[in-house]
Each structure stands twice: as C-alpha cells, then as structure tokens.
Homo-oligomer: A and B are copies of this chain.
C-alpha cells in the first residue's frame, strides 16, 4: 500500500504504529483482533489539532460573546463578560466557576442542538486562528489525519474522546477528520426534549452533563462505546486515564503520547501549559508502556 503515513518520519513512533497495525490485522497471527474490536480513541485538542495559545473552543466562546454583546450591549456590563472582553484573566479567575458557567450558558445553551450546529458551522466557515492565520479547519495536524485514515483502512473504528464541547466538535469532525458525530465523545450540557414552535427539538441547557477529562474519559468510553479500545492517542495528563484503560486489557495494545517540542513549527510546551498540562503522563510514560511521539522528530509535516 505504498507509504501509508507520508507525513511521519521513520523512527520508533512510526514503527510502533505500523508494527501494531500489522499484528492486530494479521488473520492467522497470535495478536489478531477482529475488526469489530478495533477501537481507536483520540483526544482532540493538542492531539488532532492545535490547542495553543488557547483551545479552539475558547476562541469560539470569545467570538460568540462578542456577537452576543453586539445583539445586547447591556451584557458587556456583566462582570464575566466585561472581564472576558478585556482579556482580564485575573478577574475571570477570581470570579471563579459561576462566571465560567454564565459564559458557557450564554454561548452554548438556550438553543436547540441544531441551532447551535448552525452557529458553529457558520463560525468555522469564516473564523481564523489568530496565531496560525488560517481557518480553524486548517489547524489540524496532517500526520494525524493520515493516521486516522490509515487505521480506518485497516478496519479500525476511530473515535474522538475530548474535553472539548461535543457539539462544537461534531460540527467539523466529519469534514476534517472523517469522524461522524456518533463517534465523537466530549464535554456535554444536559439536553431537554421539548417543542419549539410545535417542532420537537433537543434544547441545550446551561447545566453540565459531563466534563470529559481525566477519569471521565474512560468512563464515557464505557458509556458510549462499551468496549475497551486497543489504540489510544493523547497529549496531556487529561488523557492518562484513557491511555491506561486502553493498555489495561489483554492482547496487543498501543497508546501514544504527543509531545509538543517543536517551537519552530508549532509550540514547545508540556508541564507549564495550565489549560492542559503534560506532567504525570510524561514522567510515567515508560512505566505505563506509553509510546512517546515527538512532534519535532517524528513529524515530517505538521499542518496540512
């Protein structure tokens, strides 16, 4: 099949992937896994697309707040809105969780799932990443898009399991990753079935259903997938539980951890990134059998 991962450099990480896939797909081999059990899970922010300087979700939230303030200028006087628009993170932090929930409810709730999807799609169509100066649909990592496709061609079912908002990801995951909505797991608001002008819809409520990070990741894999994955890819401590759960079953398994060590082509960070630190997972990768991927060393190309 030629070179299935052209944006990956030869090396330990690429070999680990190719060897693993060869083993689990070899019909008469000792590590064969039937296609239905070839479940691969990927974190999204920092694993499939750029999460620096802040996650795409945060850019979306800020743009939505700006739009809401245009529609209702009195909002600008509410403390969380005021702090956010002034980039006053100290005040935002001091206002705490209720302030974040107020911003979240204003931008991600009070509308049907379908209405939110329209807003999200419209935003993705025009918004641009301020640092990378391109549409958010183009801040995805090319080696990962190749990997997703390689796995699917080898009979894997690919899932996203991310702390990002489930509906925002679902609005683009099919186009940019080839992953349909039913294979996207993320943080979610509670939904309420109701009639909107006589039409049955699902309303997004301003109440958290699940914050899909750390232990919640394997727990949501249990709820949504119901099968232990055999392949996991993450980039932060938030993915460690999911990687350990993946590695904890019998037979051949592979967990990969992306290390952002490429200041020239992207960003170099790990322990110091407050929004999603990489510390425990990096220190204990060897102990847990997690394969490290160096962006600098292992990726020939970063962006598409």
Interface residues of A, Cβ cutoff 8 Å to B: 36, 39, 113-114, 157, 166-167, 170, 174, 180-184, 188, 190-193, 199-202, 209, 215, 218-219, 222-228, 241, 244-245, 247-248
Contact = CB atoms under 8 A, between A and B. Distances in A.
Nearest to A188: B223
A202 B218 contact: yes
A1 to B, nearest CB: 25
Contacts of A183: 182
Contacts of A202: 218-219, 222, 245
Given A182-B224, A192-B219, 13 more contacts: A36-B180, A157-B182, A166-B223, A166-B226, A167-B226, A181-B225, A188-B223, A191-B218, A191-B219, A193-B218, A193-B219, A200-B218, A202-B245
Copies per complex?
A: 2
Contacts of A248: 199-201
Given A202-B222, A244-B200, A227 B193 contact: no
A224 B224 contact: yes
Contacts of A227: 180-182
Contact of A245 (B200, B209, B244): B200
Contacts of A182: 39, 157, 182-183, 224-227
Nearest to A245: B200
Contacts of A39: 182
Among A36, A200, A215, A228: residue with most chain B CB under 10 A = A200
Contacts of A226: 113, 166-167, 170, 181-182, 184
A218 to B, nearest CB: 5
Closest 3 CB pairs of A and B: A181-B226, A200-B248, A193-B215
A221 to B, nearest CB: 8
Among A200, A222, A223, A245: residue with most chain B CB under 10 A = A222
Nearest to A157: B182
Contacts of A36: 174, 180
Contacts of A167: 226
Contacts of A245: 193, 200-202
A222 B157 contact: no
Contact of A192 (B113, B170, B209, B215): B215
A209 B181 contact: no
Contacts of A157: 182
A193 B227 CA distance: 14
A227 B184 CA distance: 11
16 contacts: A36-B174, A113-B222, A114-B228, A170-B226, A180-B227, A182-B224, A191-B219, A191-B222, A192-B215, A193-B219, A199-B248, A200-B218, A200-B247, A200-B248, A202-B218, A224-B224
Nearest to A198: B248
A156 B229 CA distance: 24
Contacts of A184: 226
